[in-house]
Structure 1
Amino acid sequence: MRITKALSAALLALGLAAGPAAADSSPSPEPSGGSGAPTEAGTSFRTAAEMEQGRTATASGSTGDYLYWSFPADTGQRPTVTATVKLPPSQSGRQTWQVDVYDGLRRRQACQYGAQTRTAAPGGSTVELSCTLRTVRSWSEPWADDPLPGTYYIRLTVVGLTQDDLGLPVSTEVRVESKDIGGAAAVDGSLAKPLVPGIAVTSADEDSGDGKSAAAVLSAIDPDDGWSSGWWTDRWVWTAIGGMLAALAGIGGYVLTRGPGRPSRVPPAG
């Protein structure tokens, strides 16, 4: 009876511990596209248009332009960048477009999978590109190029076309979605600060006209729930569950192997 009560209490504790982990791993609703998304792109890293994940950014430009956007990515996320280029009907030859993703240190990040470069045949109307990055880590060796939390940059441009098509107008759509990998990608250690470099230099008091020196303005886009501290992941929950299961296995093994209890001693008759 005592063993049954102990097992019931342990199972109840496991259920309570696993509940928050399951709730954290479920995808949160994302904001609908079109609301607050940029309608133009930057022409360099410093002027990249800021966008949030889960929203669709649009921009118009000319064939041959470099179009830049930036977005935040936090620890445990695996971002996927998708881009759609709507080509003009007057194009005369093939066009090859490419999307590249850079981290906050402007290091080009390799795509884990996806069609990063595609060629549209003459008369084609659209080109669809995608790039899925590796999972963002909370910490990495200085010599490694692992994705780290902070600002990421998207660069979209044409890399191959005929001279007659140079300068033709195009319209683009860019969207970023992330899958939360969670504790499966957790590592020991974390950055002191996310890699969010300055993207413009303006005067903090330029409207007041007091003549103070200019200060760097950092990216205004952060994750919805803020930057993670780097030490808490659902790996802690599953580690605790594993420890409790090991303790239960030890109790069960002891009960099964100790054998029947010894009979109480009967004092000899006087």
Structure 2
Amino acid sequence: MPAVRVLAAALLTGAALLAPAGAALAAGPSPKPGGSAAAPTEAGTAFRTATPVKLGQEATADASTGDYLYWSFPLDAGQRGTVRAKVALPPSASRHATSTWRIDVYDGLRRRQPCMYGVQAAPAPKESATLALSCTLRPVRTGADTWSDDPLPGTYYLRLTVVDLAQEDLGQPVRAQVQADAKDTGGAYAVDGALAAPLVPGITAARQTAAGTGPEDGWSGPWWSDRWIWTAAGGLLGGLAGIAGYRLTRGSGRTAPRA
């Protein structure tokens, strides 16, 4: 029947439109590693001196137990960031008790961001040689209400420190490895509105510009997301389905000949 053919064509058209969008969402623009630039080998000791790192780049630092270690990295709208830290602990023979380590992530306004999942804090028994921590953040939004603490585009800070330690173990040498990655979440988390500019504090912004640790393609525009693709495809499918339904319900439109 013609109506069946119209409906089949509508379904095929919708599948053709949605397949590339779905593939783009599944793949997403993967963050590129730091490239040829040397990976950082030190950490800052405060927000103002945080060491910038690129997404996908592994940074290291030698420090003393009890130090506060800071790194900064960029996150753009639509990205869900994950930070990982690994601590090489002092030899067990020189340690006196279990220690507890923790990572925290702050945005450009220095608001601590909660972890959706991951091991944010963990104890390191006396016999442990290493300790691994991780934190996956909420997706970054293009805009938010002034009273909310929603993550926004800009600079993010990673802080690593020990929060429970025997007094005798202070000052012992440790080595930290950290890495920040991001995954594109697509338009599912997009909202209306946008910031006038990313939350990049002045001093860190200058250091990021010098080190080239901002997004390689620049900060995203405020209006585009793949929700436009799904909205357009849904509207087209709805229109085609309406035509098909009309053809099915109106019948052949022919009348029986009069005697």
Q: Is the 8 A contact 2:10 2:241 kept in 1?
A: no
8 Å contact kept, 2:43–2:61: yes
**Which of 50, 53, 56 is the equivalent residue of 2:55?**
53
Gap regions ≥5 residues in structure 2: none
Give the equivalent residue in structure 2 for 1:81.
83
Aligned with residue 254 of structure 1, among 230, 234, 246: 246
Q: TM-score, normalised by structure 1?
A: 0.85
Tell me which residue corresponds to 2:152. 148
The residue aligned with 2:206 is 217
What is the TM-score normalised by the length of structure 2? 0.88
1:40 to 33, 39, 42: 42
Q: Calculate the aligned-residue CA RMSD, in Å.
A: 2.4
Partner of 1:62: 64
Distance 1:255 1:104, change over 3 A: same
CA distance in structure 2 between the partners assigned to 1:29 and 1:235 by the alignment: 19
What's the offset of the Cα at 1:195? Answer: 0.4
Query: What does the per-residue CA deviation read over 1:120-141, in whole Å, with 9 as the maximum and x for residues that have no partner?
Result: 1112111111111111111000
2:221 aligned with 1:229: yes
What is aligned with 2:97? 93
Question: Could you tell me how far apart the structure 2 residues matched to 1:102 and 1:222 are?
Answer: 17
Structure 1: any 5+ residue segments left out of the alignment? 201-215
1:230-249 CA-to-partner distances (Å, cap 9, x unmatched) read: 21111111111111111111
Letter in 1 for 2:20: G
Displacement, 1:263? 4.5
The answer on whether the counterparts of 1:101 and 1:109 sit within 8 Å (CA) in structure 2 is yes
**Richer in helix (by share):** 2
Identical counterparts, % of pairs: 57
| C-alpha distance 31-135 of structure 1, shift in aligned 2 (>3 A) | closer
- Deviation at residue 7 of structure 1 after TM alignment: 5.7
For the residue of structure 2 that corresponds to 1:178, the secondary structure is strand
Q: Is the 8 A contact 1:138 1:190 kept in 2?
A: yes
Counterpart pick for 1:178 among 179, 182, 192: 182
